[in-house]
Structure 1
Amino acid sequence: MSELPALLRLHQAQPKLSQLQALLDRFGSFSEALQAGETSLRETAGLTPWQQQQISAQEIGSRVDEALDWQQDRNGAYWQQWLSYWDEDYPQLLKEISDAPPILAVRGDLALLNDPQIAVVGSRNASKTGMDNAYDFSRFLSQQGLCITSGMAAGIDTAAHKGGLQGQGKTVAVLGTGLDRVYPASNQQLARDIAAEGVMVSEFPLGTKPLAQNFPKRNRIISGLSVGTLVVEASLKSGSLITARTALEQGREVFAIPGSIHNPQAKGCHQLIKQGAKLVESGEDVFAELGSILQLALQPEAFSAQTENPEGSTAESSKLLSLIEFEPISLDELLVLSKMPLSSLQSELMALELQGKIEKLSAGRWQRIR
């Protein structure tokens, strides 16, 4: 956008979306707002003394130049750019949250930000079982076309990103630092892999250090980009519970994997389940629970055709419907009888459910209703 230099100057003060929108509403552009002076900025947007200090700092010009140079520096491998709330490519799902980040630094495949995503989060000090679960769930869901979104922290986040890279859905990493920094340092190679095959984003200016207060803040972006949040392993004081809470506040689904009652890293998940999070034991559970949301997001053309032809007379759906009787039948039985790939089977089941021909019961069972 032509306003990028002015917006990057304001970005140094880490303004809220509401503050920037107030400036636009009054002055019509960020450039005009900056020319109006400190008093007008303060009165219009309610900038704090710290924010005003950042905007008027002596080195502000060099900071903006560095940010513009960063966007131009493709490094021969990764696409880097600044993405504002007012740009067409800004992720639509993230726009729906009340405190959407006004500007994002993006490195990698920008298009992934508008793909259907599932957040996978959990403890930094995860058990081997937790790490295996995060990897396996993420790999399965990515293979179904879902993008895996997490915070690139140690532990569960790291395993989730690695699993996501194994499927066609790939992965999104939301950082709590500037995008020119990698934290923890042990994830340097993972960051390169994500930039090459997935996408990395941050709402913070370049050079932002790994400050403790920034990580809970970035969690609303992780959940905001996603149709649902899966908590793999978390203690009662885990930051993952913040992500789960923001997901609920944003009207998104929350899933939790149960664990041993003796494992302190499972107590956060158990608390979420008590509070209404959906208990899941496999990636299939997550995929099935999201139901029509994913049917529309992952197969919009098929969904459109089914809407126009509600009887859904495809050969696959007719074959599958003939196997489902008025007595419950399990997903495993249907997998054997239909000889269909799991992802295709689940898609056809969702289509038949949307048409009102079958219904999903507990324990992964289905039955015909007409």
Structure 2
Amino acid sequence: MQREELAGWLRLAWSPDIGRPAARRLLAAFGLPQQIFAQAPEALGTVLPHRQLEALLAEPQGLPALLDATWAWLQAEPGRRRVLTLGDPAYPPALLQTEDPPLLLYAHGQPVAEWPRAIAVVGSRNPTPQGRENARRFGHSFAQAGLTVVSGLALGIDGAAHEGALEGAAEGQLATIAVVGTGLDRVYPPQHHDLAHRIAGRGLIVSEYPLGIGPLPENFPRRNRIISALGLGTLVVEAALKSGSLITARQAAEQGRDVFAIPGSIHSPQSRGCHELLRQGAKLVETAQDVLEELAPRAAAAKTMDAPSPSREERPLLEAMGFDPVGLDALVARTGISAADLQAQLLELELEGLVARLPGGLFQRQQLA
């Protein structure tokens, strides 16, 4: 992105009183922001009411400083720091399908050629010890299965899920995505500074908020729609009845995603939110495998079908596996495929019922009738 293009997007996104719906109408009518701001007021008035037109024609206060800061931030780590716009081919397709996609998405971490299949894991900021361990274990198992874990970098369940994903992900795999409610020039909560650094190294941190925005309370519920949209489903590990995790779960359901909940003690306030979700139709899960099996149809539908799938007999990985249990290292040696790519292929085969995951990190090809 060139500096002039970035300036146009920043001005459109942060013009007061415009809002995302009006900005999308302008983009649909006139094209990129530079073209919008080149229009005569009369033309813009065919899309905007008078109050919003006046706001659009006035340059937002502080725009030059924001542009300078954002440009410097991008240049500090080219390729690893990006601003993705609605017009960018690298913008997450799952967000484009939601009612209110961000105009801009700031990203810091591994470059993403294709957004991975993911699962959102959320929950209480004050979990029980068992809840924290469940989040870590589920995150670890999902990453081992080749899924990217999406969460919000908050204390408690979010942090544990990120940690588990980092532990379970193969080398080169996009382990986890943290969707935060601040600008990417700061870390909130500050206790997660080291965790954020590790996520940026092996995953991705994203935000719709510009640099300089601190932890404003109203921004965290808003970012939850991004967490739920990036996942094939949302797992709530522990949550009180008024937890923000229930907002994420509701948004996931509204977006057509699966909602999963782990049951807990009837005496624990941190279980009541999950029990309420279960009463509303969320899927009860006890293991990561329960989630993987439920996601199988959605994962298959989400898979890009650029070419006809090879028949079962034609898949080289199945042939390399044979029918005896085999570990990931052995498959790397047999096929020459990277561990990260193997994890992704094994997940596809597992979801199709062609491969079973065994204890001890082993996989076994399934005999078909």
Q: For this structure pair, what is the TM-score category when the shorter chain's length is used for normalisation?
A: 0.7 to 0.9
2:92 maps to 1:66: no
Q: Once the 2 structures are TM-superposed, how far is the Cα of residue 23 of structure 1 from its aligned partner?
A: 1.6
2:247 maps to 1:247: no
- Once the two structures are superposed, residues 206-237 of structure 1 have per-residue CA deviations (whole angstroms, 9 ceiling, x without a partner) of 11111111101000000011100000000010
Relative distance call for 1:193 and 1:286 in structure 2 (3 A) is same
Give the stretch that moved more between structures: 297-306 or 202-211: 297-306
Relative distance call for 1:110 and 1:309 in structure 2 (3 A) is same
2:10 maps to 1:8: yes
Relative distance call for 1:6 and 1:275 in structure 2 (3 A) is same
Relative distance call for 1:4 and 1:143 in structure 2 (3 A) is same
Report what 1:120 is aligned to. 121
Give the share of equivalent positions with the same residue, in percent: 42
Tell me which stretches of 4 or more aligned residues in structure 1 moved more than 6 Å: 37-40, 298-303, 307-310, 342-346, 367-370
5+ residue gaps, structure 1, are 320-337, 355-366
Q: Once the 2 structures are TM-superposed, how far is the Cα of residue 96 of structure 1 from its aligned partner?
A: 1.0
2:175 maps to 1:170: yes
SS in 2 for 1:173: strand
Report what 1:56 is aligned to. 59
Q: Once the 2 structures are TM-superposed, how far is the Cα of residue 196 of structure 1 from its aligned partner?
A: 1.0
Supply the AA of the counterpart residue of 1:5: A
Supply the AA of the counterpart residue of 2:222: K
Asked if structure 2 preserves the Cα contact closer than 8 Å seen for 1:234 and 1:241, the reply is yes
Q: Once the 2 structures are TM-superposed, how far is the Cα of residue 25 of structure 1 from its aligned partner?
A: 3.2
Distance 2:284 2:226 in 1: 23
Q: With the length of structure 1 as denominator, give the TM-score of the two structures.
A: 0.79
Report what 1:155 is aligned to. 156
Asked if structure 2 preserves the Cα contact closer than 8 Å seen for 1:228 and 1:247, the reply is yes
Asked if structure 2 preserves the Cα contact closer than 8 Å seen for 1:280 and 1:286, the reply is yes
Q: With the length of structure 2 as denominator, give the TM-score of the two structures.
A: 0.80
SS in 2 for 1:261: coil
Distance 1:57 1:120 in 2: 37
Q: Once the 2 structures are TM-superposed, how far is the Cα of residue 294 of structure 1 from its aligned partner?
A: 3.1
SS in 2 for 1:65: helix
Distance 2:37 2:104 in 1: 17
Report what 2:141 is aligned to. 140
Relative distance call for 1:55 and 1:279 in structure 2 (3 A) is farther
Distance 1:113 1:345 in 2: 18
Report what 1:25 is aligned to. 28
Relative distance call for 1:31 and 1:22 in structure 2 (3 A) is same
Supply the AA of the counterpart residue of 1:111: V
Distance 2:143 2:254 in 1: 25
Matches within 5 A, 1:210-221: 210-221=215-226
Report what 1:88 is aligned to. 89
Q: Once the 2 structures are TM-superposed, how far is the Cα of residue 110 of structure 1 from its aligned partner?
A: 3.3
SS in 2 for 1:258: coil
Supply the AA of the counterpart residue of 1:175: V
Distance 1:182 1:54 in 2: 34
Q: Once the 2 structures are TM-superposed, how far is the Cα of residue 151 of structure 1 from its aligned partner?
A: 0.5
Distance 2:163 2:317 in 1: 39
Asked if structure 2 preserves the Cα contact closer than 8 Å seen for 1:229 and 1:244, the reply is yes
Q: Once the 2 structures are TM-superposed, how far is the Cα of residue 111 of structure 1 from its aligned partner?
A: 1.1
**Aligned residue among 262, 265, 274 for 1:260:** 265
**Aligned residue among 203, 206, 210 for 1:205:** 210
Give the stretch that moved more between structures: 339-348 or 24-33: 339-348
Asked if structure 2 preserves the Cα contact closer than 8 Å seen for 1:5 and 1:68, the reply is no
Asked if structure 1 preserves the Cα contact closer than 8 Å seen for 2:179 and 2:223, the reply is yes
Asked if structure 1 preserves the Cα contact closer than 8 Å seen for 2:10 and 2:63, the reply is no
Asked if structure 1 preserves the Cα contact closer than 8 Å seen for 2:83 and 2:104, the reply is yes
Relative distance call for 1:29 and 1:53 in structure 2 (3 A) is closer
**Aligned residue among 263, 275, 281 for 2:286:** 281
Matches within 5 A, 1:176-325: 176-295=181-300, 304-306=309-311
Asked if structure 2 preserves the Cα contact closer than 8 Å seen for 1:54 and 1:60, the reply is no
C-alpha RMSD of the superposition: 3.6
Give the stretch that moved more between structures: 233-242 or 25-34: 25-34
- Once the two structures are superposed, residues 6-55 of structure 1 have per-residue CA deviations (whole angstroms, 9 ceiling, x without a partner) of 11122224864432222223333312433457887676345977x93996
Give the stretch that moved more between structures: 108-117 or 182-191: 108-117
Distance 1:299 1:37 in 2: 42
5+ residue gaps, structure 2, are 329-342, 356-365
Relative distance call for 1:143 and 1:46 in structure 2 (3 A) is farther
Q: Once the 2 structures are TM-superposed, how far is the Cα of residue 60 of structure 1 from its aligned partner?
A: 1.8
Q: Once the 2 structures are TM-superposed, how far is the Cα of residue 340 of structure 1 from its aligned partner?
A: 5.3
Relative distance call for 1:250 and 1:32 in structure 2 (3 A) is same
SS in 1 for 2:120: strand
- Once the two structures are superposed, residues 234-257 of structure 1 have per-residue CA deviations (whole angstroms, 9 ceiling, x without a partner) of 001000000000000000111100
Distance 2:211 2:350 in 1: 46
Distance 1:27 1:53 in 2: 14
